[in-house]
Chain A
Amino acid sequence: MSLLFISDLHLAPERPQVTEAFYQFIDSHARDARALYILGDLFEVWIGDDDPSDMADEVQRRLAELSASGTQLFIQHGNRDFLLNRQFMRRTGATLLPDRHVVKDHGRRLLLMHGDQLCTDDRDYQRFRRKARNPIYRWVLAHLPLARRQRIATEWRRKSRQENRNKPSAIMDVNQAAVRRVMHDEQATVLIHGHTHRPARHALDDGQKERIVLGDWERLGWCLRSEQQGLELLSFAIATPAAGV
C-alpha cells in the first residue's frame, strides 16, 4: 500500500473549488493509501482550533472520516497554519509531526519538511519565522479573542490575494547548502517539501539522492506517491474549461 504526500493546499473560503478538489482527492486517492502526510499550509490561515467556520468544520469532518476508515493521517505545520493544535488533531485522528520528520518506506529514508526552514537566504522571513515559532508569541496569538483573530485572518487573506504572496516569484527558493546539511544530518535519501510552489524532482549526488518539491493547489492539485516500485509526482486539474466572462 502506498504513502501519499501533499502540501500547500491553502484552503480558504474564497477558493471553494480547491476545497472540493481536496474532498475528491480524499475519496479517490487517499482512502486506498496506508497513510496521508500533509506537509504544511493545509489552510491559507488557521486562527486556532476553535475556528467556528463551516469550512474548518467540514474539513475536519472529512479528515476524521478518512482516518476512521483506516488511512493514517500525519500533519506538519506550515508557515500559515502553525496554530493547528491538539484539538484539531484529536478531532481528525491526525498526528502532529515535528518540523523535521523521517519516514522509512521500502528502504528509503524520506525526510519530510514544510520547506520554509530551507529558504535561509530570505533573512526577513527567517526573522518572522523565529518570532512565529516562539511559544510565547503563539500563546498570545492563540489567546486573543476569537473575533479579533477572525479579523486578522480576513485581513491576512485579503493581503495575500492582493499581493500575490502565493506566487512562486514572491517566495524565495531553498538554499542548496541548507538542503545538503539537513539531508546529511538526517541521513535522508529523499527530501520531500513544499512551500516554494515550484513542483519538481531534483536529482542530487549523481542521482543517489533526490529532492522532491510538492506543488501548491491552485489550477492543479499535486501529490507524491511512494510505493514499492518507486516515487511518483502526480498532478491533476482543479479548474474547468469555462467559456464566457
Chain B
Amino acid sequence: MITLCTTMGDISIELDFDAAPITAQNFLQYARDDFYVGTIFHRVIDGFMVQGGGMDIDMVEKDTRETIINEADNGRENVPGTLAMARTSEPDSASSQFFINVAENGFLNHSSKTPQGWGYAVFGDVVEGMDVVENIKSVTTATEGYHRDVPVEIIEITAIQISEDYDHL
C-alpha cells in the first residue's frame, strides 16, 4: 500500500501489478524517489476526476523520467476510486501525472489500438481515504495562466508512505 499524505488528508492506494505491471512499477519508483512530495492536485473537475503528481506549488512542471507505454488495454475500467495515468494526445506519453476517477468515465477506457481509442491506463485503486478524494473533488477552482480547474487553495502532497509489503517489488 502507498499512502499519499495531502494537506486535505491521507489517501491510500493499492497498485495493480498484475493488470498494469509497467505503470504500477513506474508509480512505485516515483513514490520511492519522493518525487510526489511537494506536488499538488492541480486539476480538479467534479463529476470527472482529480489530477496531480506533476506540478509543484508554483504550478511549475517537475522534470520526469522517460515516458512509459500505455497499458490501458488491460481490461481495467475507469470507474470511481480507480487510479489512472494522465498523458498527452500521444497514447504512450504518461510519465508521473496520475488522476483519480470520481465518476464512471467509460469513454476513457481502451476501445481500439488507435490514438483515439487507446484510452487511459488504470493501474490501482484507492483503498482508504475516498472521503478525502470526495472532499478534493468539491473544492473551488479557478483559471491560473494556461491552466483551468486549478484549486484555489493549494492541495499538496506533503509525504509518501510505502508499506513493507512493497519492499520486495
Known pairs A219-B48, A241-B120, A242-B86 / 8 extra A-B pairs, C-beta < 8 Å: A235-B103, A237-B45, A240-B108, A240-B120, A241-B84, A241-B97, A243-B54, A244-B54
Residues of B near A219 (CB, < 8 A) are: 45, 47-48, 149
A-B contact count (CB 8 A): 54
Chain B, residue nearest A220 (CB): B47
Chain B residues near A (Cβ < 8 Å): 43, 45, 47-49, 51, 54, 61, 84-89, 93-95, 97, 99, 103, 105, 107-108, 120, 146-147, 149
Closest Cβ of chain B: how far from A197's Cβ, in Å?
14
Q: What CA separation (Å) do A155 and B56 show in the bound complex?
A: 37
Q: What CA separation (Å) do A38 and B91 show in the bound complex?
A: 35
Closest Cβ of chain A: how far from B96's Cβ, in Å?
8
Residues of B near A24 (CB, < 8 A) are: 107
Name B49's contact: one of A236, A241, A243, A244 (CB within 8 Å): A241
Name B93's contact: one of A236, A243, A245 (CB within 8 Å): A243
Residues A201-245 near B (CB distance < 8 A) = 219-220, 235-237, 239-245
Q: What CA separation (Å) do A245 and B89 show in the bound complex?
A: 12
Flag if B103 contacts A237 (CB, 8 Å): yes
Name A237's contact: one of B48, B54, B93, B97 (CB within 8 Å): B48
Flag if B48 contacts A243 (CB, 8 Å): no
Flag if A235 contacts B47 (CB, 8 Å): yes
- A/B interface sample: 21 pairs, CB < 8 A: A24-B107, A219-B45, A219-B47, A219-B48, A219-B149, A220-B48, A235-B103, A237-B45, A237-B49, A237-B103, A237-B107, A237-B108, A239-B48, A240-B120, A241-B43, A241-B108, A242-B89, A244-B54, A244-B88, A244-B97, A245-B146
Closest Cβ of chain B: how far from A89's Cβ, in Å?
31
Known: A220-B47, A237-B48. A242 touches B149 (CB 8 A): no
Pairs A-B, 8 closest by C-beta atoms: A243-B86, A241-B86, A243-B97, A237-B48, A241-B99, A219-B45, A220-B47, A235-B47
Closest Cβ of chain B: how far from A215's Cβ, in Å?
9
Most buried by A among B47, B105, B108: B47
Closest Cβ of chain A: how far from B107's Cβ, in Å?
7
Q: What CA separation (Å) do A24 and B116 show in the bound complex?
A: 13
Residues of B near A242 (CB, < 8 A) are: 86-89
Residues of A near B99 (CB, < 8 A) are: 241
Q: What CA separation (Å) do A220 and B103 show in the bound complex?
A: 11
Residues of B near A243 (CB, < 8 A) are: 54, 85-88, 93-95, 97
Chain A, residue nearest B60 (CB): A245
Q: Mark A168-190, 1 if CB is under 8 A from B, else 0.
A: 00000000000000000000000
Closest Cβ of chain A: how far from B124's Cβ, in Å?
15
Q: What CA separation (Å) do A21 and B99 show in the bound complex?
A: 21
Flag if A241 contacts B88 (CB, 8 Å): no
